[in-house]
Every structure is written in C-alpha cells, then in structure tokens.
C-alpha cells in the first residue's frame, strides 16, 4: 500500500508548489486525535490516485510557518493545491468519499 509521504520542511513544500500540477496536503500533528482518524483515508487517497495526483502529510508542529502562511487555525486540515495555488481547504474530520470527490473534481477541472 502506498502511504502518503511526509513533507520534511517548508523548503520541500515550496519545491512541490513549483513542480506539482495538483497535490494534496494533510496538515496533521502527532497529538491530534481527529488527525489519526483521517490518516488512513489520506493514505487510501495516496494509493487510489497515485497515477494522477500526489498526496502528502505535513506535521504542523515542525512546520509552523506553513500553518501561519495559510492561516490554519485547526486541524486536521486537508489542502488542495492546483498550479501552485491553494484551491480548497477541508477542515475537520471528513469521510474518504468527501476527500476523494474533492480530488476528483479538481482533477477534472485541470483537464477541462
């Protein structure tokens, strides 16, 4: 199973912004209970969409500048980026289907 890869730092995050057409970032923390609930969904998303989009995780405890930059006030927060722009943020626990449907919609918009 392909699990979502952790982004190490802000420099790696910025490199992804400039190189990836469409990617997803699950903003998480080790102490966050709801984050643990959605973690398997994010890994499932990484596997299901591995040929069409990249899916990552970002530990906000070690990447506070990223949280500040995007105004994240609560987690879990799953951010969708398209052509270097933040196009959507889903905050709180959602179902796998909600994440999957959102990613599918952004993939379809990218093709259009």
The one catalytic residue in 35, 42, 60, 79 is: 35
pTM of the shown model: 0.94
**pLDDT score for 109:** 87
Examine the residue annotation and report whether 27 is marked as an active-site residue of this protein: no
5-111: CATH topology is Glutaredoxin (3.40.30)
Q: State pLDDT tens for residues 11-43.
A: 999 999 999 999 999 999 999 999 999 999 999
**Residue tagged active-site, from 7, 32, 55, 103:** 32
Kindly tell me if the per-residue pLDDT of 76 is higher than 90.
yes
Q: Where are the beta strands (DSSP E) in the chain?
A: 5-6, 22-28, 54-59, 77-82, 85-91
């Amino acid at each position: 199973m392909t699990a979502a890869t952790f982004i190490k730092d802000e420099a790696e995050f910025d490199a992804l912004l400039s190189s990836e057409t469409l990617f997803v970032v699950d903003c998480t923390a080790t102490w966050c209970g709801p984050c643990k609930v959605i973690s398997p969904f994010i890994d499932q998303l990484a596997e299901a969409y591995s040929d069409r989009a990249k899916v990552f995780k970002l530990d906000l405890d070690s990447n506070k500048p990223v949280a500040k930059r995007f105004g994240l006030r609560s987690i879990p927060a799953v951010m969708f980026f398209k052509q270097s722009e933040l196009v959507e943020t889903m905050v709180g626990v959602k179902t796998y289907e909600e994440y999957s449907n959102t990613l599918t919609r952004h993939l379809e918009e990218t093709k259009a």
